[in-house]
Structure 1
């Protein structure tokens, strides 16, 4: 679960109920997930690992979804050392391949009768220029397209659960993108790793909020929410040269551990205070670190309905995944 204290930026009082000693256990304290099933993508490492661990400790059956079976097995063995009340299983999921996503979802539906919680956490950050197996720029393809397809395939199960949830994990980097450039989603233009990452995270938020609007329109109890972790040191930064990464960290007053970065996701996934369309991040200075609070890192593009509808239709056309009503 991580250490039980926090050395970070001065926190703004927000009445969240959390303080500088709060942990992942505090965020889900009193929440019993026994009998509920959750999928956490990218749960073998970093924020995804800490999120899956906390859900497991709260009694959920957690599917540790990632590409590498060996890494998933290692993560589960480590989680099982805790006092978890739930269960853990491996889910082999390659978000860079639409057919693999379809297969994962089909296998899951064949072996499970329920899905209460889907946390779209896995991500790629600033890799060398490359594409998914289906031809999308890798960050856009994994961070958005893959999760769009996964959510759509699993939607028939999700919608059956009263107050089920879909949590999209975004990033403060989304604010650096004003819109999705539909003429540059397959590396048609010179590659800019920072720009494409920001676009992928903006797309994720537009998806989360558009899904929320569509769910409300049909009176569904399924909640679509979003979160961002703040500034966290994880394996996500593995593609960034070490000297560049060290220079980047100097721009931030606090760099958190993965368990701290998992707090907003856990809150969005489990708190009774959450409503559809909510977006949570850390409550500290510039939302770099801290404890769950409504995020203010929004430019307006995230909730632009026209942009979101265009993105939704694009994703449906390119993936062939249609969300049934």
Structure 2
């Protein structure tokens, strides 16, 4: 079958990414090629295609822990000559809260995976986006200190997020959750900075950020007991925004292909999984000075040279 467009979902082999790919495969069997990208090898492609009775899901390995891993993925992607991307869903995330981890690029791991290397993926794939493509970033309520979900994250500079203080004092769950919330704040800072640049350049891309609630997924692989508790029905009596991945995927699919989210006035906003309603994000997320600091630091970090940095700035 010849497909006219494609959608790429990071972290698409499990959890929310898998449920979203499955839902899309069912609802758009003839027009979409769904590319699921994840670090771990998986039979997700075979399972979804077998269940749906179609062949519109493809798996490509993506190691988003390093810049080089992203570049290897993009090279493999380009060799496949896929149809244009009508949506790029930046969904994959990690959560390490017991101690500080650093990637081979010497960046704090949650910041590297949840923001930096997703941004590199966006820049390298931007030339393959359709004129009206949607870029969807999955953030978290943990970014907002006013909600008191995790210890309050405060953005000072991208450099301080990338290279936090180390030592026993910082290897606690309290600081780990703070760093996680900070990485999700960076998701919003990036999305809002991107939306401003898209509008300034007269592009028709739509940039959407979603708060997915809490799900029992591999995000909590650092603690088997925590993930188990999240999965209990009784826990939902105490935490009102615990959802199944299927429920969240239904909202995410609307954002990816629904007509309502194809309108320009949907861009540059933050939505909750519940009825896909617009909600406010944190005060810091709207500070353009912080958005620009993150944008410029990230471009300098991921660009191979000055020419590529300028290319990234031009989108």
Taking structure 1 as reference, are residues 35 and 82 closer, same or farther at Cα in structure 2, changes over 3 Å only?
A: farther
How far 1:243 moved relative to its partner? 5.7
Q: Does residue 1:324 correspond to 2:314, yes or no?
A: yes
Partner of 1:185: 162
1:141 is aligned, of 87, 107, 112, to 112
Segments of 5+ residues of structure 2 without an aligned counterpart are 146-152, 304-308
Q: Does residue 1:264 correspond to 2:251, yes or no?
A: yes
Q: Aligned-pair RMSD on alpha carbons?
A: 2.3
Normalising by structure 1, we get a TM-score of 0.79
SS of corresponding position for 1:255: coil
How far 1:140 moved relative to its partner? 0.5
Partner of 2:92: 122
Partner of 2:273: 282
Partner of 2:148: none
* 8 Å Cα contact 1:170/1:204 also seen in 2: yes
2:103 is aligned, of 132, 141, 153, to 132
How far 1:82 moved relative to its partner? 3.0
How far 1:260 moved relative to its partner? 1.2
* 8 Å Cα contact 2:9/2:21 also seen in 1: yes
Segments of 5+ residues of structure 1 without an aligned counterpart are 1-33, 284-290
Partner of 2:126: 155
Structure number with higher helix proportion: 2
* 8 Å Cα contact 1:155/1:323 also seen in 2: no
* 8 Å Cα contact 1:263/1:292 also seen in 2: no
* 8 Å Cα contact 2:216/2:227 also seen in 1: no
Taking structure 1 as reference, are residues 84 and 120 closer, same or farther at Cα in structure 2, changes over 3 Å only?
A: farther
How far 1:314 moved relative to its partner? 0.5
Alignment of 1:101-116 (within 5 A): 101-112=70-81, 113-116=83-86
Partner of 1:292: 276
Q: Does residue 1:63 correspond to 2:35, yes or no?
A: yes
How far 1:138 moved relative to its partner? 0.8
Aligned mates of 2:156, 2:244 — CA distance in 1: 30
Q: Does residue 1:98 correspond to 2:67, yes or no?
A: yes
* 8 Å Cα contact 1:56/1:84 also seen in 2: no
Aligned mates of 1:219, 1:184 — CA distance in 2: 31
Partner of 1:242: 225
How far 1:206 moved relative to its partner? 0.8
- Aligned residue pair count: 280
Q: Show CA shifts across 1:253-299 (max 9, x none).
A: 3521111122332222222222211222133xxxxxxx322123x12
